[in-house]
């Protein structure tokens, strides 16, 4: 389930371009830094790993599940990706799925 909201450029291309975020649980260390930065977007599950949440606050546990990056939380999500010890947080443009923040960002 991917719902789109607008976010500023921040390296993402055209202003207002929708971004989405996902977590690679295979690399997640369960450190919880992402939850500290953006609890509206990330949550630790009982398995000790972080997952993204839907805009309706539903934990999305499917492999590769994405959620929109709300404009108001963009910096917190980007900081989560930068500070993640597992390098498992990926932020990409919705339009072409190019990663703009995270370990595979160009």
Query: pLDDT of 46-97, one tens digit each?
Result: 999 999 999 999 999 999 999 999 999 999 999 999 999 999 999 999 999 9
- Cα dihedral: 72, 73, 76, 82 (round 10): -120
CB atoms inside a 10 Å sphere around CB 98? 13
Per residue in 20-40, pLDDT tens?
A: 999 999 999 999 999 999 999
Q: Given this model, what pLDDT does residue 106 score? A: 78
């Amino acid at each position: 389930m991917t719902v789109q909201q607008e976010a500023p450029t921040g390296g993402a291309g055209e202003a207002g371009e929708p971004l989405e975020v996902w977590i690679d649980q295979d690399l997640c260390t369960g450190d919880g830094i992402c939850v500290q930065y953006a609890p509206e977007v990330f949550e630790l599950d009982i398995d000790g790993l972080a997952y993204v949440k839907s805009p309706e606050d539903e934990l999305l546990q499917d492999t590769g599940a994405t959620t929109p990056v709300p404009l108001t939380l963009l910096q917190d999500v980007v900081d989560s990706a930068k500070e993640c010890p597992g390098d498992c947080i990926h932020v990409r443009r919705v339009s072409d799925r190019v990663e703009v923040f995270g370990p595979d960002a160009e």
